[in-house]
């Protein structure tokens, strides 16, 4: 949270100091094409979203969106140049053309979308504040947490959300306020508090990585309630709408592919499908690529090389990964989630 | 009385066994009194206990072969994590199949540093070592180097000017003519280049695939930032220190202002300025490489600190040295280079090495602008959820590598003090 405040402050300073950030012609796509790669700003290592693996290759859900953009523009998901950015730098880096997209797990808010000369093009992950509890507590829902001791970082929106939620549900809690993340974790795992609350993705990472032996991953559960909105989206420069469109629809294409059950495994067979929607999506019936200004096989390339949204989710943060985050709000709208792509037609 | 031995033949008795050898030493130093004896025993017990615990953790119950983090859990140290991650920790995101390149770059840099540590190399050889070493290092790291024409012209100009200033009264006329020729070529060439008469031309040396700085990481980054940061900061710091003692008010004011400004702000703020503010003042579309920006920030910062250290050395020299040099008829560069600096620098070796060691470690602050130096790649290895939960092992490993470097520097400083003070020792 503090990082976000700092980032916002830096962003404001930047916005005041120069209109330089906003004064761009629609040249971004041309620059990307002539360079031959998408400059993708990624945050400093966040498990499941963006992290260099043991071979130094960037992997994660956020990284996959960048790869999808490259696959749409160049037909090759590897044509991405990764630029590691801290949360203080990320918006400046996109304003000053150092990168084309920032996938820094930035929360989509009105001020950021308007004041900084930036555009959010969608939501690749609906994050939000959640609760982590030990299984032996026997709690199935946050509504049963009356009287619990809660570990929380001070002076953040997390703390305010927590108080609001408990008041709204007519429950009481005893806060244990600790500044440093490491200390909060050790306080929680040593049993000083019943509940640890912060963004759900971070809870999942904590559960995957920081449970001290002899306790294990399975001794802890993340409760299903999410009590705040932290939608994470790709950020591009304000000005080049065509490039923003490609970034927006690259993500939508991943979602549409999942909706129509097109996966990286079956995409070649799907080319022979009779379904007119699938034919349109995969470019068998031409038109969509031309409208977007990319190759007609753009969705085919994305799905073949990166996978659909569900595949990427499961591989990076879902059940196929150590984080084991449930789809929850990130399930498709057809399965009770919030992920909803406008139709490709 | 007949059996009395002559005095001279009598063998002295050996000292009592508890006065010599191991026992004697222990009695004198460890058990000289009851209090000391008890302290010794308690401390030995503590050391044995800690060592026992550490070896148990780090060796006997350690896991060297696990393939995932969960296999490692519960036992002793998880060195399998280092085995899995050491290539990433050392070389970051540099393309995996090409890791031999940063490896040889590191070896080249170390060879360069070791060679230049030898006093016999402190002459024209130093320039050759650094020239060749740097060229190989950057060729390996980048894979391709383009040397633009204007740079060659500029080097010719600079070489001529420096040669002329240093050897003005000493050089034979033929050598002087060569310097004038270099300056002439440089000035004319640069003027023509700016006017657009000469084409934008460069020598391309491209034996390997290009790897940009955003993929660099690990030990080469730490070494490059520290080595070149200090290599450039050192002469720059000398200039600042001399400028601060200058009689010309403008130069003195600029130097004092710069030093105080830099010393007045933390390195982090300078790095953030370089990475967040600077790009906004540049025309849109122009970007300066992030690594270069960090490198320049480190040079400026280190320069200010080194300048103050060197000023201490300059002030320790008696005034007679300056006056004697003037009386010899030496000009300012000659006086400074031949008389003043050799003496001043000798005095400040310990604080200078101290600054060097400090900056070697300070380079890890570049994390805040998203550059992965050695400590930061180690940090990243901890984030991997497959392997997370073993910070002790990773930090111990990183500390070990840092210690090797810093301890070598400190020993070198000791050797250098010994070497350079031969003249003053009795």
Burial (Cβ within 10 Å: 0-12, 13-18, ≥19) of residue B57: middle
**pLDDT tier at B3 (50, 70, 90 boundaries)?**
low
Contact B180, B156 (CB under 8 A): no
Number of structural domains in chain B: 1
Say if the Cβ atoms of A52 and B281 lie within 8 Å: no
Say if the Cβ atoms of B371 and A84 lie within 8 Å: yes
**A99 → chain B, closest CA residue:** B287
The greatest distance separating any two alpha carbons of chain B, rounded to the nearest whole angstrom, comes to 115
Say if the Cβ atoms of A208 and B276 lie within 8 Å: no
Q: Which value does ipTM take for this structure?
A: 0.78
In a domain, B181, yes or no: no
**pLDDT tier at B169 (50, 70, 90 boundaries)?**
low
DSSP code of residue B274: I
- What tokens were used for A25? 């012609």
Smallest Cα distance from B401 to chain A, Å:
19
In a domain, B286, yes or no: yes
CATH of the domain at B376: 1.10.3720.10
pLDDT tens for the 345 residues of chain A, in order: 444 444 444 444 444 443 333 333 357 888 899 889 999 999 888 888 999 988 889 999 999 999 999 999 999 999 999 998 888 788 888 888 889 999 988 889 898 888 788 999 999 999 999 999 999 888 889 999 999 999 998 877 788 889 999 999 999 999 998 888 888 888 999 889 999 998 898 898 888 877 877 788 888 999 988 999 989 999 999 888 899 999 999 999 999 999 999 999 999 999 999 999 999 999 999 889 999 999 999 999 999 999 999 999 999 999 988 888 889 899 999 999 999 999 998
**Is A15 an interface residue toward B (CB < 8 Å)?**
no
Say if the Cβ atoms of B93 and A214 lie within 8 Å: no
DSSP-based three-state secondary structure for B297 = helix
- Structural domain boundaries enclosing B349: 215-426
Contact A321, A53 (CB under 8 A): no
pLDDT at B9: 67
In a domain, B299, yes or no: yes
Contact A293, A313 (CB under 8 A): no
Smallest Cα distance from A272 to chain B, Å:
38
Going along chain A from its start, the domains and CATH numbers come out as 2-126+231-335 (3.40.190.10), 129-222 (3.40.190.10)
B218 Cβ contact list (under 8 Å, min separation 6): B88, B89, B90, B91, B92, B94, B102, B372, B373, B374, B377
Which residue from A199, A43, A205 is spatially nearest to A126, judged by alpha carbons? A199
Say if the Cβ atoms of B282 and A96 lie within 8 Å: yes
End-to-end CA distance of chain B: 54
Contact A52, A209 (CB under 8 A): no
In a domain, B78, yes or no: no
pTM of the model: 0.81
**A93 → chain B, closest CA residue:** B276
Which residue from B37, A72, A155 is spatially nearest to B28, judged by alpha carbons? B37
A-chain CB neighbours of B367 within 8 Å are 44, 86
In a domain, B337, yes or no: yes
Measured CA distances, A15 to A7, A28, B151 (Å): 12, 20, 37
B-chain CB neighbours of A88 within 8 Å are 272, 276, 368
Say if the Cβ atoms of B386 and A322 lie within 8 Å: yes
């Amino acid at each position: 949270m503090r990082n976000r405040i700092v980032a916002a402050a830096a962003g404001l300073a930047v916005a005041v100091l120069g209109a330089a950030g906003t004064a761009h012609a629609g040249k971004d796509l041309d620059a990307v094409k002539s360079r031959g790669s998408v400059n993708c700003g990624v945050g400093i290592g966040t498990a499941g979203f963006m992290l260099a693996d043991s071979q130094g290759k960037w992997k994660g859900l956020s990284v996959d969106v960048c790869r999808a953009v490259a696959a749409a523009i160049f037909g090759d998901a590897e044509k991405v140049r990764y630029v590691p950015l801290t949360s203080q730098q990320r918006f400046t880096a996109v304003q000053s053309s150092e990168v084309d997209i920032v996938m820094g797990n930035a929360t989509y808010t009105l001020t950021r979308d308007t004041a900084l000369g930036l555009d959010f093009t969608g939501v690749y992950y609906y994050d939000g504040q959640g609760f982590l509890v030990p299984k032996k507590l026997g709690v199935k829902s946050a509504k049963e947490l009356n009287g619990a001791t809660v570990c929380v970082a001070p002076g953040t929106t997390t703390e305010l959300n927590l108080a609001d939620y408990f008041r709204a549900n007519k429950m009481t809690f005893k806060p244990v306020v600790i500044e440093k993340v490491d200390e909060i974790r050790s306080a929680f795992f040593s049993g000083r508090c019943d509940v640890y609350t912060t963004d759900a993705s971070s809870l999942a990472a904590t559960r995957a990585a920081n449970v001290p032996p002899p306790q294990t991953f399975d001794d802890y559960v993340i409760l299903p309630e999410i009590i705040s909105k932290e939608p994470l989206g790709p950020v591009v420069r304000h000005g080049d709408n065509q490039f923003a469109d490609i970034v927006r629809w690259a993500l939508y294409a991943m979602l549409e592919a999942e909706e129509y059950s097109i996966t990286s495994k079956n995409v070649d067979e799907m080319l022979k499908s009779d379904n007119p929607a699938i034919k349109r999506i995969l470019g068998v019936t031409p038109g969509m690529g031309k409208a977007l200004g990319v190759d007609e096989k753009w969705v085919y390339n994305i799905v073949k090389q990166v996978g659909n949204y569900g595949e990427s989710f499961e591989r990076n943060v879902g059940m196929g990964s150590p984080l084991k985050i449930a789809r929850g709000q990130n399930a498709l709208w057809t399965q009770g989630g919030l992920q909803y792509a406008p139709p490709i037609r | 009385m007949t059996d009395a031995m002559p005095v001279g033949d009598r063998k002295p008795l050996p000292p009592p066994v508890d006065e010599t050898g191991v026992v004697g030493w222990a009695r004198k130093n460890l058990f000289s009194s009851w209090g000391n004896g008890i302290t010794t025993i308690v401390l030995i017990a503590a050391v044995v206990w800690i060592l026992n615990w550490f070896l148990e953790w780090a060796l006997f119950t350690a896991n060297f072969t696990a393939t995932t983090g969960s296999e490692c859990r519960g036992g002793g140290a998880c060195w399998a994590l280092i085995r899995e991650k050491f290539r990433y920790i050392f070389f970051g995101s540099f393309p995996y199949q090409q890791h031999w390149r940063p490896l040889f770059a590191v070896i080249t840099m170390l060879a360069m540093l070791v060679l230049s540590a030898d006093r016999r190399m402190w002459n024209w050889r130093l320039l050759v070592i650094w020239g060749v070493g740097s060229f190989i290092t950057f060729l390996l790291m980048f894979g391709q180097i383009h040397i633009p024409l204007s740079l060659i012209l500029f080097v010719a100009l600079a070489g001529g000017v420096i040669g002329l200033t240093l050897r003005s009264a000493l050089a034979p006329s033929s050598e002087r003519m060569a310097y004038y020729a270099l300056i002439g070529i440089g000035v004319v060439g640069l003027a023509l280049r700016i006017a657009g008469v000469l084409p934008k031309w460069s020598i391309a040396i491209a034996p390997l695939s290009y790897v940009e700085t955003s993929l660099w990481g690990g030990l080469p980054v730490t070494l490059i930032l520290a080595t070149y940061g200090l290599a450039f900061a050192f002469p720059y710091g000398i200039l600042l220190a001399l400028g601060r003692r200058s009689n010309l008010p403008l130069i003195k004011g600029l130097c004092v202002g710069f030093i105080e400004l830099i010393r007045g702000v933390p390195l982090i703020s300078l790095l953030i300025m370089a990475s967040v503010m600077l790009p906004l003042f540049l025309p849109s579309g122009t970007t300066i490489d992030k690594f270069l920006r960090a490198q320049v920030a480190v040079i400026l910062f280190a320069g200010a600190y080194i300048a103050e250290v060197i000023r201490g050395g300059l002030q320790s020299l008696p005034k007679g040295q300056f006056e004697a040099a003037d009386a010899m008829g030496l000009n300012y560069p000659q006086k400074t280079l031949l008389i003043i600096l050799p003496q001043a620098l000798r005095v400040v070796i310990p604080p200078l090495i101290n600054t060097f060691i400090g900056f070697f470690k300070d380079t890890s602050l570049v994390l805040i602008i998203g550059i992965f130096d050695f400590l930061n790649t180690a940090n990243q290895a901890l984030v991997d959820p497959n392997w997370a939960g073993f910070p002790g092992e990773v930090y111990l490993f990183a500390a070990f590598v840092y210690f090797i470097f810093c301890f070598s520097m400190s020993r070198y400083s000791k050797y250098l003090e010994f070497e350079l003070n031969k003249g003053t020792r009795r």
